[in-house]
Amino acid sequence: MNELEFDNLLEKARQFRRQGVRGRYAPSPTGSLHLGNLRTALFSWLQARLADGQLVMRMEDLDQPRVVAGSAEEILSDLRWLGLTWDEGPDVGGPLGPYDQSARTAIYDHVLSRFRDQGLVFRCYCSRRDVREAASAPHGPGGLIYPGTCRALSPAEEEERQARRPDRSPSYRFLVTHEAISIDDVISGNYSENLAEDVGDFVVRRADELFAYQLAVVVDDALMGITDVVRGADLLSSTPRQVALFNALDVEPPRFWHVPMMVDDSGERLSKRDGSDSLRVLRDERGWDAPRVIGHLAASLGWVDPGSHLSAAELLQELNYDDLKSPACPETSRA
Strand order in the sheet with 171-174: 121-124, 171-174, 202-205
Q: How, if at all, do strands 171-174 and 202-205 pair? A: antiparallel
Q: How far is the CB of 14 from ligand GLU (least distance, A)?
A: 20
Cα gap 18→160, rounded to integer Å:
49
- In the range 21-80, which residues lie near ligand GLU by CB under 6 A? 26-28, 60
Cα gap 261→47, rounded to integer Å:
17
For the beta carbon of residue 155, count every other beta carbon within 10 angstroms.
7
Compare residues 26 and 145 and give the one whose CB is closer to ligand GLU: 26
Query: Which residue has the CB atom at the shortest distance from ligand GLU?
Result: 231
Of the residues 272, 280, 283, 334, only one is catalytic, namely 272
Cα gap 120→176, rounded to integer Å:
8
Q: How far is the CB of 229 from ligand GLU (least distance, A)?
A: 6
Compare residues 59 and 150 and give the one whose CB is closer to ligand GLU: 59
Cα gap 142→139, rounded to integer Å:
7
Tell me the sheet residues that pair with 229.
24, 256
- State yes or no: is 12 an active-site residue: no
What values do phi and psi take at 308, rounded to 5? -65, 145
Compare residues 94 and 148 and give the one whose CB is closer to ligand GLU: 94
Q: Is 148 left (phi over 0), alpha (psi -120 to 50) or beta?
A: left
Cα gap 130→2, rounded to integer Å:
35
Query: CA 142 from chain center: how many Å?
Result: 14
- In the range 175-234, which residues lie near ligand GLU by CB under 6 A? 217, 231
Q: How far is the CB of 28 from ligand GLU (least distance, A)?
A: 4
Number of residues in contact with ligand GLU, rule: CB under 6 A?
7
Q: How far is the CB of 26 from ligand GLU (least distance, A)?
A: 4
Q: How far is the CB of 101 from ligand GLU (least distance, A)?
A: 9
Compare residues 33 and 131 and give the one whose CB is closer to ligand GLU: 33
Site string for ligand GLU, 234-273 (x = CB under 6 A): -x--------------------------------------
Compare residues 173 and 231 and give the one whose CB is closer to ligand GLU: 231
What values do phi and psi take at 300, rounded to 5? -70, -15
Residues marked as catalytic: 272
Residues in contact with ligand GLU by the rule CB under 6 A: 26-28, 60, 217, 231, 235
